[in-house]
Structure 1
Amino acid sequence: MLSDKKSYPRPVMAVLVRSKTISGMQKQMAAPRIRMMAEANKEVKNILYFFSLREVKLREQKITGYYWHIKKNRWFSKDFLFPDVLYIRIGVGKRHTQTYKKLCSIITKKNGKLITHYRFNKWRLYQTLSNDPVLKNYLPVTRTVKKSDDIKKMLQRYKVAYLKSHYGKKGENVLRVEVLPDGGYRYSYYRNNQLTVRGVSDFQALMDVVKKFFKDKKFLFQQGIKLLKIKNGFVDMRAELQRNGDGSLDIVGISVRHGRPGSPITTHGKALRFDDFFVKYTVLSKDQLKKFRPAVQRFLFRVYEYLDNYYGNFAEIGIDFAIDTNNKIWFIEANSQSTHVSLRNAYGEAAFYRYNKNILEYARYLSNRSKRDKLA
């Protein structure tokens, strides 16, 4: 049973989740990620609770949080003090922005830590990484779109493009456009579990599609990469990187994602382990793979550390990347709040457990370091 004392002997970690997630816990129907984190915490032994911004009491500096009672095997709620470490798993809407900002401010003023508190804007992310002299060599040409003529000029130059909203997840705000030999255009997207592939005869008709697709969202243009294709499906990779219990970087898994035939994205396709993929499809020889593996690791570490230094502490970053038909590595995007679907599909529950344990142990590491700094 959790203590009601004003201070706790162990690090207090709070996880910010959606109201819908809390509703599930109230009904004893927690999501798999929540259940796995609670399971991993039996080993780590942080004081762990989950909450939504509706449960924050700023004046009292308390939060009504939900925790797993090991002996009673149920979810219970109680009031907690603000945590030593706040782990953010959602984007915050306008309705709760002020509560969120005040909560974060109070926690940091008390020497607490925020982890994974920044959602990446794809355009700003590209601008940030392009400032690094090494990483800029991994970036496809990317421009934010201000007028339709920007798209026209870029398509004339690159023939294939990906249009992406500045914010987005699960690939549902990605539109692939290809210039056809007859001067027309083919576009494709994946939304609501449905693939759409159609053609238009001229640029104005394409712009009508683009405007309807993005509505009032800001979006960018990204140069199309000549991705590997297997059975008419594109191939890319998702690396799940984390800080572990001593603050070191850990690659929990690199999943190779094989998209459905004709789909512009790989998110909803099959996932294989990194080495298994190259063995199965012999894309690279054994000697090439031996050199490629450390090159990938150097690239991934560079991306993570650069973003971690620029934005602040991250418990995790999912990095999407690809290799083209010439075996060149390309950065695609980074995700601060990965859903870990590909990791679980490729590496199984043991990797998913390790993933959650790493987050809990990193929170403990940050809390202990913060206390040492305070005493110094």
Structure 2
Amino acid sequence: MDFDKYDSDNNSPYIGVHVKSKVINSLIKQKVSRNNKRLQKMNKIAKTNLYFFSEIDVDYISKKIKGVFYNTQTRKWTVADFPFPDVYYNRRGEKKDNKDVQTVRETFEKMGIAKINSNHFYNKWYSHQELDKNEELRPHLPKTILYKTESNLVNMFKDTSSLFLKSLRQNNGKGIMSVTKKTNCYEYKYFIERGLKEGTASTLEELIQIILSFYTDSEFIVQKQIDLLQYNHATLDLRCDVQRNGKGELECVSYAVRVSAKNSHITNTRTNPNIYPFETFFKEKLEFSDEEMLRLKNRLERLLFTIYEKLELNFGSYGEMGIDIGIDKEGRLWLFECNMKPGKNSLWACDEQTIDRAFLNPLEYAKFLTASSRQSERSN
């Protein structure tokens, strides 16, 4: 089947959404995630030519992709042949050694195909080093070091009794260990597929062995834990969705409050936290006045825009970023992590208009990129 015979608007850009092959198989079986349903809904409004594909669907010789799109005539997700995209939207989770995924990215890069997000993962240590060079951002970064030897932990424990260890590349709550120094032992927590794993180590040497076993040969950072604002004895933070819109301008689309599950050391959605819309939570739960909430929102927006723009200077332009921000008990804002291919699970606690906006913006930004590219070609 040729897509051009069906729903194509040839004046609009082709947007290729790169996902795992299992997502493609689910689409073909008409089992569609709420995220992809909403993206398709916004595709109708943006009037773009949206299709999904995996790396195994790319034919480099014919420059065609066997992708999946929503056929409005049959009301079914359908396989069709597509040209290489005008804009590459990478939603593909990956391991760093996946050569097929890398080939897709490198090919599109050489061809000059526009992409919504420049970088494909967030190296926590490299990014920390770059952000730490910015005087405005430095006060918002927890003390962080790259683990090399046992002495790194010893020195960090001189400053605090609680640390986070984080792998450099993993996200979605994976690769994070909480370690707390007690009077006679060390307590630790981390998540595995079966759930929360807790334990104690009687000596630092024993703790080191547990840590190295958890991270195997992967590098990780050591970060001071911040005494965060709490609600009902549970820690909370914010997932902020920042995007570029159809004019290429930055927007803080949503701020979702995540309150950790019982006994959890993190608030990531895979640990089943309670999630609230920003205004609802701060007004109803913490009893902020309108003025207090507006001041917090303004501080947040300034910080988020600075983080976003600083990372773009190092990695290239971005269409979207999920930024995790903590608030300590004195009201100070802390950057914990940036997600370059953000999941949107926290977003679903927001109102329908906000959800729509978060899925529409990347498509409108793709149109902006295409228009800019075509204008540049005409100028040359």
Q: Aligned partners of 1:188 and 1:352: how far apart in 2?
A: 33
Q: Aligned partners of 2:341 and 2:106: how far apart in 1?
A: 22
**Secondary structure of 1:168's match?**
coil
- Deviation for aligned residue 1:348: 4.3
* 1:253 aligned onto 2:257: no
- Deviation for aligned residue 1:365: 1.0
- Deviation for aligned residue 1:217: 1.5
- Aligned mate of 1:315, from 299, 315, 319: 319
* 1:145 aligned onto 2:147: yes
- Deviation for aligned residue 1:87: 0.6
* 1:36 aligned onto 2:38: yes
* 1:157 aligned onto 2:144: no
Q: Aligned partners of 1:76 and 1:261: how far apart in 2?
A: 43
Q: Once structures 1 and 2 are overlaid, which stretch shifts more, 327-336 or 116-125? A: 116-125
* 1:369 aligned onto 2:372: yes
Q: Aligned partners of 1:360 and 1:7: how far apart in 2?
A: 14
Contact 1:138 1:331 in 2 (8 A): yes
Identity level (%): 29
**Secondary structure of 2:307's match?**
helix
Q: Deviations over 1:54-97 (max 9, x none)?
A: 01111211111111111110111222111111010124442314
Counterpart of 2:366, as a letter, is A
- Deviation for aligned residue 1:196: 2.8
Distance 1:333 1:283, change over 3 A: farther
**Secondary structure of 2:358's match?**
helix
**Secondary structure of 1:239's match?**
strand
Q: Aligned partners of 1:26 and 1:189: how far apart in 2?
A: 36
**Secondary structure of 2:342's match?**
coil
Q: Once structures 1 and 2 are overlaid, which stretch shifts more, 140-149 or 186-195? A: 186-195
- Deviation for aligned residue 1:283: 6.6
* 1:26 aligned onto 2:3: no
- Deviation for aligned residue 1:210: 0.7
Q: Aligned partners of 2:160 and 2:108: how far apart in 1?
A: 43
Q: Aligned partners of 1:90 and 1:219: how far apart in 2?
A: 23
Q: Deviations over 1:113-141 (max 9, x none)?
A: 11224211111111121122211121011
Q: Map 1:244-323; keep pairs closer than 5 Å.
A: 244-267=245-268, 268-282=272-286, 284=288, 286-323=290-327
Contact 1:82 1:107 in 2 (8 A): no
Contact 1:107 1:113 in 2 (8 A): no
Q: Aligned partners of 2:203 and 2:161: how far apart in 1?
A: 14
- Deviation for aligned residue 1:98: 4.8
**How does the TM-score come out when normalised to structure 1?**
0.93
**Secondary structure of 1:3's match?**
helix
Match of 1:352 in 2: 355
Q: Deviations over 1:263-284 (max 9, x none)?
A: 1101130111112222223375
Distance 1:283 1:146, change over 3 A: farther
Match of 1:82 in 2: 84
Q: Aligned partners of 1:187 and 1:252: how far apart in 2?
A: 35
**Secondary structure of 2:135's match?**
coil
Q: Once structures 1 and 2 are overlaid, which stretch shifts more, 89-98 or 200-209? A: 89-98
Q: What is the number of residues matched between the two proteins?
A: 371
Contact 2:241 2:323 in 1 (8 A): yes
Which 5+ residue runs of structure 1 have no aligned equivalent?
none
* 1:100 aligned onto 2:91: no
Q: Aligned partners of 1:317 and 1:311: how far apart in 2?
A: 13
Q: Map 1:207-222; keep pairs closer than 5 Å.
A: 207-222=208-223
**How does the TM-score come out when normalised to structure 2?**
0.92
- Deviation for aligned residue 1:192: 2.5
Match of 1:63 in 2: 65
